[in-house]
Amino acid sequence: MKNGLSGVKKTLLNLSLVGVSLLVAALIGEVLVRIFWAAPGFKYPQTLHEKHPVLGWVMKPNQHAYTYDIPVTTNSHGLRDDEFTVAKPDKTVRILVLGDSVTFGVLVGNDETYSNVLERMLNAEADSVRYEVINTGVQRYYTFQELDYLREYGVKFQPDLVVVGYYINDLGFKPETWTRDYEKTREKHASYLWTKVPWLMYIYKNSALSNLVRDRIIRMLRSTKQKKNTQTRLLTGELDEEAFRKIEGARQDLAAMKKLGDEHGFPVLIAAFPGVNQVIKDFPNAKYPQFVREIADELGMPFVDLLPDFKEHYDGDIRSLYFRYNGHPNKTGHELAAKAIFKAIAEKKLLQRKEIAKTN
């Protein structure tokens, strides 16, 4: 009996030593990853969404939340922007910006998004008018959702110009019905864990080591599906039937935006954001953003390619323009986008007639 007890004690001691060793190794790994990889912090709640019968999901209005550990506030319209009236005030030139998480501004402050930077640039040179640049970006939106937003709400805001912040993963087709299963399941599980074990979720979300492991798992899964990845095919130029179908879908969505603009009296400017890989290396056979430019030219829509500006300012470290752990533009990337769009508006004289009309 005595030998049995000593055996149990020895096993428990060994398990304890293994546990302590793993904990020490994890702590050392956490320190090293924070030094060399620098994952973002995380605060709760993250930006919350709610179901929408047409758009699938929208951001909840009047919320104080976070994108990682950066504060996010939304107005009564459920947008990451200052409060504004539906009816456009007198002597106001209004620009509506459509987009996904890039336009929303993952990991940058409300005042650092390219829409806000653009607004400040325009107002700095304005004399008798005031510019409003409204950010309607919502995380995980496709172009067809941005089109639906423009139909449902955007035209009611009486924009003088619409800017579409386009990204390589915006291609998609609108399902016949909106079940929002992915969104609902993801938020349901996260909310449950935050309620039951908040301390564990806090450690997990703020751990640089866990973020690195998750990043590498995502990269590995993507690489195993590389041949089926439309984004990869767009960069290599090896398009398949699915890619051509998605490009045709993009053509239809952008044509519908152009038609809305013609009906309501506003031009639609397409601003194509480059992906991280496009900035790091060259893709001579890439079809993005080439296909977007071709669609814009065909439809007579103004277009600006942000890739040349991003490449010019790339200093060899991707962190100069993007957050390396999720591929979204950082503050500098947003500033470059705002400057390029500002330049395109001036050169293409997209607001000239509108400004004259407002001052009379």
110-159: per-residue pLDDT in tens? 999 999 999 999 999 888 899 999 999 999 999 999 999 999 999 999 99
Confidence class of residue 357 from pLDDT cuts 50, 70 and 90?
A: very low
pLDDT of 354 > 90? The answer is: no
Model pLDDT for residues 12-52, shown as the tens digit of each residue: 777 778 778 877 877 887 777 777 766 677 888 889 888 88
pTM value > 0.75 = yes
| pLDDT 10s digits, 200-233 | 777 777 777 777 777 677 666 655 554 558 888 9
Confidence check: pLDDT of 346 > 50 = yes
Task: Give me the chain's average pLDDT, please.
Answer: 86
Beta strand residue intervals within 99-246, DSSP E:
130-135, 161-166
Q: What is the Cα–Cα distance from 73 to 116, expressed in whole angstroms?
A: 14
Position 355 scores a pLDDT of 46
**DSSP secondary structure of 234-293:** HHHT---HHHHHHHHHHHHHHHHHHHHHHHHT--EEEEEPPPHHHHHS--TT--TTHHHH
Per-residue pLDDT, 228: 59
pLDDT confidence of residue 224: 56
pLDDT bracket for residue 182 (50, 70, 90): very low
From residue 305, alpha-carbon distances to 48, 165, 259, 292, 354 in Å are: 31, 11, 22, 9, 24
Identify the weakest region by mean pLDDT among 164-178, 203-217, 317-331.
203-217
Confidence label for 359 from pLDDT (cuts 50, 70 and 90): very low
Q: Cα(359)–Cα(268) distance, rounded to whole angstroms?
A: 22
pLDDT score at 18 = 75
Domains by residue range for the chain, with CATH = 79-171+228-359 (3.40.50.1110)
Give the Cα separation of 146 and 109 in Å (integer). 22
Is the pLDDT at 189 greater than 70, yes or no?
Answer: no
> Looking at residue 47, what is its pLDDT?
92
Q: By mean pLDDT, which of 196-200, 203-207, 292-296, 356-360 is the weakest?
A: 356-360
| Percentage, residues of the chain above pLDDT 70 | 85
Which residue bears the tokens 């492991």? 213
Q: Give the pLDDT confidence of 89-116 residue by residue, as tens digits.
A: 999 999 999 999 999 999 999 999 999 9
